[in-house]
Amino acid sequence: MYYTRCPACQAVYEIPARLLAEAAGVVRCGNCGKTFNSLSQLFEQHPDAADEPLRGTGMPPMLEHPDMVQAELPVEYFDEPEDDSEETGPIEPLPGFENDGAESEGRRWLWPAISGALVLLLLVQLWALWQTPGSPVARWLGGSGQLDTGLDPNEAIQIVSRDLHPHPSLDDAVVISASLRNQADRSVPFPIVEVRFFDASQQVLGVRRLRPEEYIRDPEVVERGLPAGVVMPILLEFVVGTGQPAGFQMRFH
């Protein structure tokens, strides 16, 4: 039999060790109602006011919890394995398989290289068609090959040179040779050429207009137009009758 004392009202109670174990030491004072741990206020005999509660080895046997000290394990030493890397030579490839890796690597890059070359060739062809005025690609993309019909031909086209010659085979005809240069940054249509002939007194002898089909014989050249920065020579033939012109003037429409 053991005794416990309430820390609040100092009331003393008898308590068997079995009940202490079942209640894990937690009890409630019947005098003041305080709940406390009776193990911290445990006595073997009825305590006086100055008596100290049991500590350590004085606890009931079933409530004692001796310290468990783990035995120190002995340290074992193991021999390190010897380094036999010097004795082990490089692994030799099996006969007949020495070049399989290189051949596989070459085959792996073969098809990407061929595909890249085909894509590059296709891009070059598309670029060439894009630069060709009147081509389906140029019309679809509206690229630099598309003819710019919104420019004034007299501003876009420069007359680099011009000259008036007698016709080599007709007495009543003349030939005008001229060079036209496109100053725009894109292709422009060939213009309608207007020529005014003058006599020595600057009187107008006649006016003639020629469509592009009349002074350029190749329809494909007419369709492509005059590319940017290109100088195009043209040759114009006119029948003027008996009065030979002394001069002429050219303009575009």
DSSP code string of 172-239: TEEEEEEEEEE-SSS-BPPPPEEEEEE-TT--EEEEEEE-HHHH---HHHHHH-B-TT-EEEEEEEEE
- Residue that terminates a domain, selected from 42, 63, 84: 63
Is residue 78 a part of any domain in this protein? Answer: no
Is residue 221 a part of any domain in this protein? Answer: yes
Is residue 91 a part of any domain in this protein? Answer: no
- Report the alpha-carbon distance of residue 51 to residue 56 in Å, rounded: 16
- Report the alpha-carbon distance of residue 61 to residue 18 in Å, rounded: 11
- Report the alpha-carbon distance of residue 135 to residue 230 in Å, rounded: 19
Q: What is the CATH number of the domain that holds 198?
A: 2.60.40
**Which residues constitute the domain of residue 161?**
153-252
Per the structure, the count of domains in the chain is 2
In tens digits, what is the pLDDT along the chain, a chain of 253 residues? 788 889 889 888 888 877 777 667 788 888 898 888 888 888 888 888 778 887 655 555 544 444 433 333 333 333 444 555 555 555 554 444 445 555 566 677 788 888 888 999 888 887 776 666 555 655 555 544 456 667 888 889 999 999 998 888 888 889 999 999 999 888 899 999 999 999 889 999 889 999 999 999 899 999 989 999 999 999 998 888 777 888 999 999 9
Is residue 121 a part of any domain in this protein? Answer: no
- Residue that terminates a domain, selected from 43, 63, 83: 63
Query: pTM (2 decimals)?
Result: 0.43
- Residue that terminates a domain, selected from 63, 87, 107: 63
Task: Spell out where the chain has E strands.
Answer: 2-5, 12-15, 26-28, 35-37, 42-43, 157-166, 173-182, 193-198, 204-210, 231-239, 247-252
Is residue 129 a part of any domain in this protein? Answer: no
Is residue 226 a part of any domain in this protein? Answer: yes
Is residue 98 a part of any domain in this protein? Answer: no
Is residue 58 a part of any domain in this protein? Answer: yes
